[in-house]
Amino acid sequence: MAFFTAMSVGFLIGTVRERLHQPGALMAGIRTHTVAALIGAVALYLGAAIFLVALALMGILIGIGYDRSYIRDPGMTGEVSLALTVLLGGLAIESSQLAAALGVTVACLLFFKKPLRQFSQELLSERELEDALILFAAVVVVLPILSREAIDPWGTFKPFAIWKVVVVIMFAGMMGHLAIRLTGVRWGLPLAGFFSGFVSSTAVIMDLGRRVKDKPELSDIACAASLLSTLASLLLFALVIGASSPALLGDVVWPLFCGGLSLLVLALVWFKRRPLPTDFYLPSTEGAFQFKHVLFIAVSISSVSLISTWMGIWFGESGTLASAVIVGFAEIHAAAVGISQLSIQHGSVTALAKWGVIGILAASVVSKSTLSYISGGGHYGGKVTLSLVIFISAAALAMLF
């Protein structure tokens, strides 16, 4: 079985390599890769020393071949893939499943040469690459080294938990931005509004309000897009709560679902009232997220966690609730971490913590409604406010019953 897996991996990689090159070109194809994989498997089967000798000999042959073909083809993909085929052949002796999986992955990477090159050189901007590197660094470099234990005397400030929430927000912003780039913002304003809401629903509402002032006939479709951006923000709000306190999310998932469903239904109602003009679009942001905004969220979450703990010590549960609701006027995701402290401190979800979630959403409704009036005038602001009031009412009623 191991030798068959090795031959299959070599055959697959060789097929892809041969298929992507012009006929008659000097290259390692199906036969060469299949034999190379079999050499790796047989050599390791005979012993590690023989495998190392075989690998060294193959390396010399690959080096000689590259020296002869360098002028015609300076790339090294063929040489590297052939060396990897030998290694995968040896790996098949130890783990056939892992060798097969890696072989298929390598074949896919080789096959998608043109799309990957187009993505990296034409579609991906430098700003997006910078954002992606920041996100990967935040996940792979920063997150693992952070302490999972509290580093403050009150047992509140946990760097790992706080940064995990930041990573969730950054990842949501990245996915939203990529969705806009792939689908095209001209495809639909509501779709663009939804994905932009992962970055900042408040910014979307204000931007649409300014556009409605220039074109009042867009108020219905702009209201639909605003509600969808709020729905995206609500989804991210739920993710943050789940990352901070899974127990609290389990107890408020039904009110959040009802509130989200009301936003979706209202958005569809406003969307069907008037078709989307072809000359109107929401431009995509230059980057997936603003690093300054991310740092602000990290500082906000840290501050809210400490302030909530202090107010809880000084004024009890009502102090923690009050601090979270106040923060909710400006940043509901930071406030979500604050309200989660109530369930973390008590070890169980209290009624005050559950109603605190509704209070944070209500504070956000007030701030967004006010900004919709300021940015878009009474006609647009009235529609957004009415819809948001229905949304918070649906969530509150679900909490009651």
Q: Torsion angle of alpha carbons 205, 211, 215, 217, nearest 10°?
A: -20
Q: Are residues 105 and 199 in the same domain?
A: no
Mean pLDDT of the chain: 75
Q: Torsion angle of alpha carbons 375, 380, 381, 387, nearest 10°?
A: -140
C-alpha closest to that of 249 among 314, 179, 324, 339: 339
pLDDT at residue 99 in the model:
86
Q: Are residues 284 and 136 in the same domain?
A: yes
* pLDDT over 90 (residue 301): no
C-alpha closest to that of 229 among 176, 307, 278, 185: 176
Q: Are residues 350 and 273 in the same domain?
A: yes
Cα(252)–Cα(219) distance, rounded to whole angstroms?
Answer: 32
* pLDDT over 50 (residue 280): no
Q: Which of 52, 87, 119 is the last residue of a domain?
A: 119
Q: Are residues 262 and 227 in the same domain?
A: yes
DSSP 157: -
Q: Which of 119, 138, 165 is the last residue of a domain?
A: 119
Q: Are residues 273 and 176 in the same domain?
A: yes
Parent domain of 114 = 2-119
Furthest CA-CA distance within the chain = 82
Q: Sorting pLDDT into bands at 50, 70 and 90, what band is 377?
A: confident
Which residues touch 371 (CB under 8 Å, ≥6 apart)?
202, 205, 206, 209
**Mean pLDDT of all residues in 176-186:** 57
* Cβ(280)–Cβ(211) below 8 Å: yes
Label residue 173 exposed, middle or buried (CB < 10 Å: 0-12, 13-18, 19+). buried
Q: Which of 88, 119, 150 is the last residue of a domain?
A: 119
* Cβ(371)–Cβ(209) below 8 Å: yes
Q: Are residues 241 and 103 in the same domain?
A: no
C-alpha closest to that of 224 among 255, 192, 256, 199: 192
Q: Read off the pTM.
A: 0.53
Query: Token pair for residue 33?
Result: 């890769």
Q: Are residues 129 and 228 in the same domain?
A: yes
Cα(222)–Cα(205) distance, rounded to whole angstroms?
Answer: 8
Q: Are residues 198 and 301 in the same domain?
A: yes
Q: What confidence tens digit (pLDDT) does each residue in 17-53 have?
A: 877 765 544 467 788 888 888 888 888 888 888 888 8
Q: Are residues 89 and 192 in the same domain?
A: no
Query: Can you spell out the DSSP letters for 215-279?
Result: -GGGHHHHHHHHHHHHHHHHHHHHHHHHHH-HHHHHHHHHHHHHHHHHHHHHHHHHHHHSPPPTT
Measured between alpha carbons, how far apart are the two ends of the chain, in Å?
Answer: 60
Report the half-sphere exposure of 123 (CA within 13 A, side-chain side): 14
Q: What confidence tens digit (pLDDT) does each residue in 205-230 have?
A: 776 787 787 777 778 888 888 899 89
Report the half-sphere exposure of 334 (CA within 13 A, side-chain side): 23
Q: How many domains does the chain have?
A: 2
C-alpha closest to that of 208 among 286, 276, 282: 282
277 vs 388: which has the higher pLDDT: 388
Q: Torsion angle of alpha carbons 285, 286, 291, 294, nearest 10°?
A: 10
Q: What confidence tens digit (pLDDT) does each residue in 228-275 have?
A: 989 988 988 888 888 777 888 888 889 999 999 999 999 988 887 765
Q: What confidence tens digit (pLDDT) does each residue in 106-147 have?
A: 888 888 777 766 666 656 667 777 777 888 888 888 888 887
> How long is the chain?
401
Q: Are residues 228 and 115 in the same domain?
A: no
Whole-number Cα distances in Å, 292 to 16, 58, 261, 297, 385: 44, 51, 32, 9, 29
Q: Are residues 153 and 59 in the same domain?
A: no
* Cβ(332)–Cβ(355) below 8 Å: no
Q: Are residues 184 and 302 in the same domain?
A: yes
